[in-house]
Structure 1
Amino acid sequence: LNEKQFVRFSMPYSKGWKIFVDGKETKSYRCDIAFIGTFVDSGNHSVVLKYSTPFLNTGLITSFAGLAILVVLCFYLKSRRKENE
Protein backbone atom coordinates (compact mmCIF):
# COMPACT_ATOMS: atom_id res chain seq x y z
CA LEU A 1 0.00 0.00 0.00
CA ASN A 2 1.20 3.50 -0.76
CA GLU A 3 -0.64 4.99 2.22
CA LYS A 4 -2.71 3.87 5.20
CA GLN A 5 -5.94 2.38 3.88
CA PHE A 6 -9.00 0.51 5.01
CA VAL A 7 -8.94 -3.04 3.66
CA ARG A 8 -12.25 -4.89 3.25
CA PHE A 9 -12.40 -8.66 3.03
CA SER A 10 -15.21 -10.61 1.42
CA MET A 11 -15.72 -12.63 4.60
CA PRO A 12 -19.02 -12.13 6.45
CA TYR A 13 -18.57 -10.21 9.70
CA SER A 14 -18.66 -12.28 12.86
CA LYS A 15 -17.23 -11.77 16.32
CA GLY A 16 -15.27 -15.00 15.83
CA TRP A 17 -12.93 -13.41 13.25
CA LYS A 18 -9.56 -12.01 14.30
CA ILE A 19 -7.29 -10.10 11.94
CA PHE A 20 -3.52 -10.20 12.33
CA VAL A 21 -1.28 -7.76 10.46
CA ASP A 22 2.37 -8.83 10.56
CA GLY A 23 1.58 -11.18 13.45
CA LYS A 24 -0.11 -8.54 15.63
CA GLU A 25 -3.85 -8.61 16.25
CA THR A 26 -5.63 -5.52 14.96
CA LYS A 27 -9.12 -4.20 15.52
CA SER A 28 -11.70 -5.49 13.05
CA TYR A 29 -14.63 -3.44 11.81
CA ARG A 30 -17.98 -4.26 10.25
CA CYS A 31 -18.15 -2.62 6.84
CA ASP A 32 -20.61 -2.51 3.92
CA ILE A 33 -23.25 -3.92 6.30
CA ALA A 34 -22.05 -7.55 6.21
CA PHE A 35 -18.27 -7.73 5.70
CA ILE A 36 -15.14 -7.42 7.83
CA GLY A 37 -12.25 -5.03 7.40
CA THR A 38 -9.39 -3.22 9.13
CA PHE A 39 -6.95 -0.38 8.66
CA VAL A 40 -3.52 -1.28 7.28
CA ASP A 41 -0.53 1.08 7.26
CA SER A 42 1.46 1.81 4.12
CA GLY A 43 4.04 -0.74 2.96
CA ASN A 44 4.09 -4.50 2.47
CA HIS A 45 2.29 -6.53 5.11
CA SER A 46 1.21 -10.04 5.87
CA VAL A 47 -2.50 -10.14 6.75
CA VAL A 48 -3.98 -13.28 8.30
CA LEU A 49 -7.61 -13.87 9.25
CA LYS A 50 -8.36 -16.53 11.88
CA TYR A 51 -11.78 -17.76 12.90
CA SER A 52 -12.83 -19.43 16.13
CA THR A 53 -16.44 -20.29 16.84
CA PRO A 54 -17.83 -18.01 19.56
CA PHE A 55 -19.03 -19.85 22.68
CA LEU A 56 -17.80 -23.23 21.40
CA ASN A 57 -16.28 -24.20 24.76
CA THR A 58 -19.39 -23.09 26.66
CA GLY A 59 -21.57 -25.17 24.33
CA LEU A 60 -19.36 -28.24 24.71
CA ILE A 61 -19.33 -28.01 28.50
CA THR A 62 -23.12 -27.56 28.62
CA SER A 63 -23.68 -30.50 26.28
CA PHE A 64 -21.42 -32.83 28.25
CA ALA A 65 -23.01 -31.75 31.55
CA GLY A 66 -26.47 -32.46 30.13
CA LEU A 67 -25.33 -35.86 28.87
CA ALA A 68 -23.83 -36.72 32.26
CA ILE A 69 -27.06 -35.74 34.03
CA LEU A 70 -29.06 -37.88 31.58
CA VAL A 71 -26.86 -40.94 32.20
CA VAL A 72 -27.05 -40.53 35.99
CA LEU A 73 -30.84 -40.09 35.79
CA CYS A 74 -31.21 -43.23 33.66
CA PHE A 75 -29.18 -45.33 36.12
CA TYR A 76 -31.13 -43.89 39.05
CA LEU A 77 -34.51 -44.64 37.48
CA LYS A 78 -33.36 -48.17 36.50
CA SER A 79 -32.22 -48.90 40.08
CA ARG A 80 -35.52 -47.59 41.50
CA ARG A 81 -37.47 -49.80 39.12
CA LYS A 82 -35.52 -52.89 40.33
CA GLU A 83 -36.26 -51.96 43.98
CA ASN A 84 -40.00 -51.78 43.26
CA GLU A 85 -40.13 -55.23 41.63
Structure 2
Amino acid sequence: MANNKITGITRTTNRTRILTTSIPYSNGWQIRVDGHLVKRLRINVGFIGAQIPAGKHVIQLTYKTPGLKLRQLLSQLGFWIMFLSSLVTIFN
Protein backbone atom coordinates (compact mmCIF):
# COMPACT_ATOMS: atom_id res chain seq x y z
CA MET A 1 0.00 0.00 0.00
CA ALA A 2 1.43 3.35 -1.08
CA ASN A 3 0.03 6.85 -0.65
CA ASN A 4 -2.49 6.45 -3.44
CA LYS A 5 -2.29 2.78 -4.39
CA ILE A 6 -3.32 -0.58 -2.95
CA THR A 7 -2.19 -3.83 -4.57
CA GLY A 8 -3.12 -7.38 -3.68
CA ILE A 9 -3.48 -10.91 -5.01
CA THR A 10 -6.76 -12.75 -4.91
CA ARG A 11 -7.87 -16.29 -5.67
CA THR A 12 -11.51 -16.95 -6.38
CA THR A 13 -13.44 -20.14 -6.87
CA ASN A 14 -14.86 -21.31 -10.16
CA ARG A 15 -17.09 -18.26 -10.70
CA THR A 16 -17.01 -14.48 -10.83
CA ARG A 17 -17.04 -12.75 -7.45
CA ILE A 18 -17.49 -9.19 -6.20
CA LEU A 19 -14.52 -7.50 -4.55
CA THR A 20 -15.86 -5.63 -1.53
CA THR A 21 -13.84 -2.90 0.19
CA SER A 22 -14.37 -0.51 3.07
CA ILE A 23 -13.01 2.36 0.95
CA PRO A 24 -15.60 5.13 0.47
CA TYR A 25 -16.80 5.49 -3.12
CA SER A 26 -15.19 8.30 -5.10
CA ASN A 27 -14.79 8.97 -8.81
CA GLY A 28 -11.03 9.22 -8.29
CA TRP A 29 -10.58 5.47 -7.78
CA GLN A 30 -9.48 3.18 -10.62
CA ILE A 31 -9.48 -0.60 -10.31
CA ARG A 32 -7.26 -2.82 -12.42
CA VAL A 33 -7.35 -6.60 -12.57
CA ASP A 34 -4.16 -8.07 -14.04
CA GLY A 35 -3.35 -4.62 -15.46
CA HIS A 36 -6.72 -4.18 -17.19
CA LEU A 37 -9.05 -1.39 -16.09
CA VAL A 38 -12.39 -2.75 -14.82
CA LYS A 39 -15.64 -1.01 -13.98
CA ARG A 40 -15.78 0.47 -10.49
CA LEU A 41 -18.95 -0.49 -8.62
CA ARG A 42 -20.75 1.29 -5.78
CA ILE A 43 -21.49 -1.41 -3.22
CA ASN A 44 -23.02 -1.56 0.26
CA VAL A 45 -24.47 1.94 -0.20
CA GLY A 46 -21.22 3.91 -0.45
CA PHE A 47 -18.10 1.79 -0.91
CA ILE A 48 -16.07 0.74 -3.95
CA GLY A 49 -15.88 -2.71 -5.40
CA ALA A 50 -15.47 -4.60 -8.66
CA GLN A 51 -16.33 -7.87 -10.35
CA ILE A 52 -13.41 -10.30 -10.21
CA PRO A 53 -13.35 -13.28 -12.58
CA ALA A 54 -12.60 -16.78 -11.33
CA GLY A 55 -8.94 -17.63 -10.79
CA LYS A 56 -5.84 -15.96 -9.41
CA HIS A 57 -5.52 -12.23 -10.12
CA VAL A 58 -3.44 -9.20 -9.18
CA ILE A 59 -5.75 -6.36 -8.17
CA GLN A 60 -4.61 -2.76 -8.04
CA LEU A 61 -6.66 0.15 -6.71
CA THR A 62 -5.27 3.60 -7.55
CA TYR A 63 -6.59 6.98 -6.44
CA LYS A 64 -6.15 10.16 -8.47
CA THR A 65 -7.76 13.30 -7.08
CA PRO A 66 -10.36 14.49 -9.61
CA GLY A 67 -9.45 17.90 -11.05
CA LEU A 68 -6.06 18.07 -9.33
CA LYS A 69 -4.08 18.98 -12.45
CA LEU A 70 -6.51 21.78 -13.33
CA ARG A 71 -6.32 23.15 -9.78
CA GLN A 72 -2.52 23.08 -9.87
CA LEU A 73 -2.48 24.89 -13.20
CA LEU A 74 -4.90 27.57 -11.95
CA SER A 75 -2.84 28.04 -8.78
CA GLN A 76 0.34 28.53 -10.78
CA LEU A 77 -1.42 30.92 -13.14
CA GLY A 78 -2.72 32.92 -10.18
CA PHE A 79 0.76 33.06 -8.65
CA TRP A 80 2.31 34.41 -11.86
CA ILE A 81 -0.45 36.98 -12.31
CA MET A 82 0.12 38.24 -8.76
CA PHE A 83 3.89 38.22 -9.23
CA LEU A 84 3.76 40.15 -12.51
CA SER A 85 1.22 42.65 -11.16
CA SER A 86 3.52 43.24 -8.17
CA LEU A 87 6.43 43.93 -10.52
CA VAL A 88 4.32 46.36 -12.54
CA THR A 89 3.26 48.14 -9.34
CA ILE A 90 6.84 48.38 -8.06
CA PHE A 91 8.27 49.78 -11.29
CA ASN A 92 5.46 52.28 -11.97
Match of 2:46 among 3, 23, 34: 34
Unaligned runs of 5+ in 2: 1-11
Structure 1 unpaired stretches of 5+: 81-85
Relative contact order, CA 8 A, sep 6+: which one is greater?
2
Deviation at residue 49 of structure 1 after TM alignment: 0.6
- What code does the residue aligned with 1:67 have? F
Q: Provide TM-score, normalisation by structure 2.
A: 0.81
Pick aligned residue for 2:66 from 34, 54, 76: 54
Deviation larger for 26-35 or 64-73? 26-35
Q: Provide the aligned length of Structure 1 versus Structure 2.
A: 80
2:76 counterpart letter in structure 1: F
Which residue matches 2:82? 70
Aligned with 2:87: secondary structure? helix
Which digits, 9 at most, give the CA deviation of each residue in 1:13-48, with x for residues without a partner?
A: 111111011111101011112210011111111111
* Identity across the alignment (%): 31
Determine which structure has the larger helix proportion and give its number.
1
RMSD: 1.0
Find out whether 1:12 has 2:31 as its counterpart.
no
SS at match of 2:75: helix
Distance 1:73 1:32 in 2: 52
